[in-house]
Amino acid sequence: MDPVAEIKARLDVADIIGEYLTMKPAGTGSFKALCPFHNEKTPSFYINRPRQSWHCFGCDKGGDLISFVQEIEGMDFPDTLAHLAQKAGVELPQYDPKASSEKKRLYEVNELASKFFRAFLLTSPSAETARAYVAKRGIDELTGDLWRIGYAPDSWNSLIDALIQKNVTEDEMLKAGLIQKNESGRVYDRFRNRIMFTIWDVHGNVIGFTGRILTDSKEEAKYVNTPETNVYKKSQVLYGLDKGKGDIKRENLAVIVEGNMDVVSSHQFGIANVVASSGTALTADQLNLIKRFTKNLAIAFDGDAAGKAATLRGLDLARQQDFNIRVISLPSEAGKDPDDAVRKDPELWRRAIKDAAPVIDWVYRNAFKGKDPSKPEGKKQIAAELVPELRRISNSVERDAWLKRLADDLGVSEESVRDLVKSAAPSTKFSPYYKGELEGVPEAKTQQKQAKTQEEDLDERLLALLYLKPELEALAQELLQEYYLPRSPDEDLLNFLAVYADREFQDQSLDALRRELEVVCTQYRKLRISKTRADLEREMRDAERIGDSAKIQELLTQFNQLM
Ligand SMILES: [Zn+2]
């Protein structure tokens, strides 16, 4: 177990907070207290023991026991950890100042190299071809600066010479992976005559590079990457995460693409929740990185990545960690990759992301690839691959529809497929009652937030009600109809919902909760309708201004339907 998990397992949030505050019971496993972080006379600070979390409804702060101690003691995270580790009798791994300063130095060296490549591209006469290439790829200057798109000259020692001028030693360059040593011990630049993409870690430290050849020559590798170093670990890198994390969190969705250019051009055209994995399969480390920002992924696979075992493994890993995954298919007119699509028309790429299909669609189509559904052996293989998938579907109507389709496509009876699904070992995976499209899920409540909108308020109330009584979901669906948005709360949100439900709905009868749900849903519907109406009115004004009478007619019809 890692030290953080061990500390959390050994200490109890209510015990710890009880050392600082006077708590009163507030329902099963819950307590309330006067909030230490803002001034109040009646308690709005709630502690939830089963979830080991706390939340204040007055100032909207919340978190776990570590964040509480951090906040109340005013300590930074490492100090808090050290303090709690001592309390819990957990040994922390020794902090090594030498290792840390070596890493820092590698960041600096990489940063210098990154600036060298960028400056060389912009100013050197010998970078003419490279500049033409970058221009042809449509990278504008702002984007080039932001992403430090550069050029490594066609030379064995340009970078070495430049870095020596900046007091970087050969040893440091070797450790950063920027240079190589030949058999006779002579060093030379690793990247030569290549367009350089700078790679940052999630915190914005330069950790390495990808160098791409300028021509599609067959003699040289298309890409050269920084080798594994103390700061560059391929399996832990997501290209663009340092710049995209804000948008990923805001939109509650990470779009995963293959190539660096896919990321750069998406960002250039304002689609900034896009990152690239280096390789086809998502690793556990990469998923851990993303998890801090969202649990929703939309993945654009390379044509030939589909069906590769590694790709499927990456997906499986993600699903085990309860990520919601959709798969993006680019329409044929969009070109061969997201870079093509976004340059043709950003709307094409935007729409493809929005229309991403649930992973089951993709897995289903994929299961038929390379197998013959007309032969018994092929039928068996396809069914064996899909049965576990069908078992994962929690909604029985949806599951049934897939079952029928599979029986149909295999030309076998529904019963035989049904039997297979039944006889497979029961899945233990909890499947959240929310699944699918996600929009407007309230953000994690660990930080102080601005005043909530009415929509956010209603959202939270609705989610908390359904958290408390999942059986009310059908009613919510019926009441909200087309405005019903399935959700999958992440860990932070679940913590929040637990304390929220405690505070608002503790000890209420199911009937009372049902009435509450009706009120919330009605308000929600009204709000959405008035929003849609406002949107339509705006569109109508625009259409009138340009005199588009067909559009006006169409909008009027929509408008009337809302009445
Ligand atoms: Zn407070």
- Ligand 1 mean position, distance from CA 55 (Å): 8
- Ligand 1 mean position, distance from CA 496 (Å): 14
Average pLDDT over residues 209-216: 91
- Ligand 1 mean position, distance from CA 24 (Å): 16
pLDDT at 431 over 50: no
| Gap between the Cα atoms of 268 and 260, Å rounded | 12
Residue 312's pLDDT band (boundaries 50, 70, 90)? Answer: low
- Ligand 1 mean position, distance from CA 488 (Å): 27
pLDDT of amino acid 165: 96
| Gap between the Cα atoms of 313 and 275, Å rounded | 19
pLDDT tens string 123-170: 999 999 999 999 999 999 999 999 999 999 999 999 999 999 999 999
Average pLDDT over residues 436-446: 32
- Ligand 1 mean position, distance from CA 67 (Å): 14
Closest CA to 153 of 196, 110, 97: 196
- Ligand 1 mean position, distance from CA 43 (Å): 9
By the 8 A CB rule, do 295 and 378 touch?
Answer: no
**Residue 448 CB coordination number (10 Å):** 12
Tokens representing 442 are 């309230």
**Residue 550 CB coordination number (10 Å):** 8
Average pLDDT over residues 189-195: 96
pLDDT of amino acid 109: 97
3-class state of residue 452 by DSSP: coil
- Ligand 1 mean position, distance from CA 40 (Å): 8
- Ligand 1 mean position, distance from CA 36 (Å): 6
pLDDT at 72 over 60: yes
Average pLDDT over residues 500-522: 81
Provide the mean pLDDT of the chain.
84
pTM surpassing 0.75? Answer: no
Average pLDDT over residues 275-292: 82
- Ligand 1 mean position, distance from CA 34 (Å): 8
- Ligand 1 mean position, distance from CA 560 (Å): 46
- Ligand 1 mean position, distance from CA 458 (Å): 21
pLDDT at 255 over 70: yes
- Ligand 1 mean position, distance from CA 455 (Å): 22
> Which CB contacts under 8 angstroms, 24+ apart, belong to 90-98?
90/3, 90/6, 90/7, 90/10, 91/3, 92/3, 93/3
What is the pairing mode between strands 274-277 and 238-239? antiparallel
- Ligand 1 mean position, distance from CA 222 (Å): 55
Tokens representing 219 are 């003699």
pLDDT tens string 23-53: 998 877 889 999 988 888 888 999 998 889 9
- Ligand 1 mean position, distance from CA 32 (Å): 11
What is the pairing mode between strands 254-257 and 274-277? parallel
Beta bridge partners of 150: 196
Average pLDDT over residues 282-289: 85
pLDDT at 306 over 60: no
Residue 309's pLDDT band (boundaries 50, 70, 90)? Answer: low
